[in-house]
Chain A
């Protein structure tokens, strides 16, 4: 099921304003919306390079981060982004909040709306939870990662990073390797990369790759393979995914050793890719498992830049969504 529903017809007609209430995944974004986010991210990057990387654009707006799962970079990235724009930020985690007392997701979100939240950035362990929240609040909801479903701001920061280095992604080969089946990062990347014209290759052990996420869109394509060496030939981008150590207990993989033997992104394998291919990782990394340390920190790695771009992308998204709410 690769097609997105009634794929947005995309003339690259430029749009100048954001209209959607929520950002739940990349699958419903039009090319024009993606272009708007990319342009805005450029502007935000520039702000971040100033000596005082702060503006007051969102003064008076309240951004709540509501995290039901642990997270370092995504939560911190949103917080820094919101503060850089002058918004008030409230950070909530499931532990230590009324969630622990059994409050439902819907009640929590409605309470945040009543308190005055303009935007709720939500991370949740269950796929689809932000959709439930978004349907039941007037606040804007940004999906900061839901279960094994989607992580749209990660995909957008990945896209921004790739475009900075490669430019137009049309016809470029982007290999995403690892536990694709359980990866919200991979899923969201598939939609935004295909929309951008890339040929996505999803690669991993047979037990950890989806069976149905392959096919063509108007501009790009997606294929699934278990053979990493052949996947890497001619790759322009190699993105390793975090390997959850629990998978070996769940019977999905004999051992981490077996995974490393077959799927670790290392120097020998990277040599199969196009010279100068980008190495990416959404973090947090298990160095020595899905990626060899010398590659993670090698010349081709843009992993730290991804983190930095993540702040700019989140500034862009918060800016667009918050200003869209203003009368």
Chain B
């Protein structure tokens, strides 16, 4: 039996119910036993949470764990340790592994590894098409039965409209969301960063916003035609988000996510802060960092609730994947351990609102993928069910040092930057799994 925990004196926020009060939280036998003031610590380990926020454990709809197949970039053990440090207690694993989880066999093998190595809850996302090649549909019902939380071909968009339509008809019948990286490869045409002022300045091939916008538009039309649940992964453009907002107003079963990177950085990060261009490969991600106008639109989208989830798109890479020419560098940012810091820094600046951020880290994603049906209380903090809790200090300053990451991926454009807001402790399934002294000793 796990040790009872008393979280004392924190600001307890449950975005789903709107609860927001300074209170004590007693966790016993894996569940939240009581939320009240002046609880007795009899027999319980006391966590002093004064000055901290006590929130439901964060839920991430979009992460890359790299195992199996790319263990030099990360493993289930290392990347879930990183997730834990970032306050994430449930993460959805994207299927761009080798082999890709496109059959019950590969999913079952993955679930076994997760059970053995994962430090937080991991839910696999299954492929839409075999080997993520966009040619033949994977055996979707078998994948659903094996435990997939959603379907996606991850960074390989289902470019063929005919195939996408039928994929949605089948995933819709299964009642599972299809998470799509919306991008028209014929428009992207080998681009390596956002098409615009910086790409023209640096002589780098651009990825035009229209590549995302047109793909979102097509997929919304297919969502409407099929009635299937469609999740738009990492929206990056102002116009793309407007399309999603419009589809939601019309009542379509559509959800979307944005990443902390796109909420905090712009295409300027590729140029870097100096006079001499940096060609910073750590700022190379796909979809790319966009303009300040786009960034501000995404911030507004989080604040007004258009954005259901803030998802990390955590993408660890080995050093050599980034220590090369910009065109050749791998795309992605190791994001778990900086996500909260960037979000809370933005809150402190008066851009993002705290309740909106917490909603998009907890109940928002939980509902988008119906995770609360798999893990009782996921994304919530209330008596009787939930037992995943993240305790963080909202303004504590710290400097990003990638070498201190638990993630195998040290690839971040934020190295050396001061961020505000830091995870202090994480409880998974009622068990104190991460505590400040342990994490940052």
Q: Is the beta-carbon distance between B324 and A132 smaller than 8 angstroms?
A: yes
Q: Tell me if B292 is interfacial: C-beta within 8 Å of chain A.
A: no
Contacts of A104 in B (CB 8 A): 320, 323-324
Which residue of the partner chain, among A5, A106, A184, A212, contacts B203 with CB atoms under 8 Å?
A: A184
Residues of A within 8 A of B196 (CB): 212
Residues from chain B with a CB closer than 8 A to the CB of A147 are 203-204, 327
Q: How many residues of A contact B (CB 8 A)?
A: 29
Residues of B within 8 A of A148 (CB): 203-204
Give the number of residue pairs across the A-B interface with Cβ within 8 Å.
68
**Residues A212 and B197 in contact in the complex (CB < 8 Å), given A127-B202, A127-B327, A149-B202:** yes
Which of the four size classes fits the interface of chain B?
20 to 34
Complex CA gap A310/B276 in Å reads 24
**Chain B residue nearest in CB terms to A187:** B203
Would B276 and A128 count as touching, CB distance under 8 A? no
Q: Give CA–CA (A213, B200) in the complex, Å.
A: 7
Interface string of A207-222 (1 = CB under 8 A from B): 0001111000000000
Q: Closest CB of chain B to A168's CB: distance in Å?
A: 26
B202 touches A212 (CB 8 A): no
Q: A24–B279 contact, CB under 8 A?
A: no
Would you call A109 an interface residue if the criterion is a C-beta within 8 Å of the partner chain's C-beta atoms? no
Hey, what's the 0/1 contact readout for B165-194 against A, CB within 8 Å counting as 1? 000000000000000000000000000000
Q: Could you tell me the distance between the alpha carbons of A6 and B328 in the complex, rounded to whole angstroms?
A: 30
Residues in A1-27 with C-beta less than 8 Å from chain B: 1, 4-6, 24, 27
Query: Chain A residues with Cβ under 8 A from B376's Cβ?
Result: none
Q: Is the CB of B279 within 8 A of A212?
A: no
Check A149 against B203 for contact (C-beta < 8 Å).
yes
Shortest distance between the CB of A207 and any CB in chain B (Å): 12
Asked if residues A127 and B203 are in contact (CB atoms below 8 Å), the reply is yes
Docked pose: A148 CA to B328 CA in angstroms: 15
Is the beta-carbon distance between B203 and A213 smaller than 8 angstroms?
no
| Other-chain contact of A126, B201, B277, B278, B327 (Cβ < 8 Å) | B327
In the complex, the answer to whether B275 meets A106 with C-beta atoms within 8 Å is: no
Residues of chain A in range 121-145 having any CB-CB distance to chain B below 8 Å:
124, 126-129, 131-132
CA of A184 to CA of B198, assembled, Å: 15
B203 contacts which chain A residues (CB < 8 A)? 127-128, 146-150, 184, 187
A1 CA to B328 CA in the complex, in Å? 24
Enumerate A209-251 residues with CB–CB distance to B below 8 Å: 210-213
A105 within 8 Å of B (CB atoms):
yes
A residues near B (Cβ < 8 Å) are: 1, 4-6, 24, 27-28, 104-106, 124, 126-129, 131-132, 146-150, 181, 184, 187, 210-213
User: What residues make up the interface of B, taking CB atoms closer than 8 Å to A?
Assistant: 196-198, 200-204, 274-279, 320, 323-328
Known pairs A126-B326, A128-B325 / 16 extra A-B pairs, C-beta < 8 Å: A1-B200, A4-B275, A5-B275, A28-B275, A28-B276, A105-B325, A106-B324, A126-B325, A127-B203, A128-B204, A132-B325, A147-B204, A187-B201, A210-B200, A213-B200, A213-B201
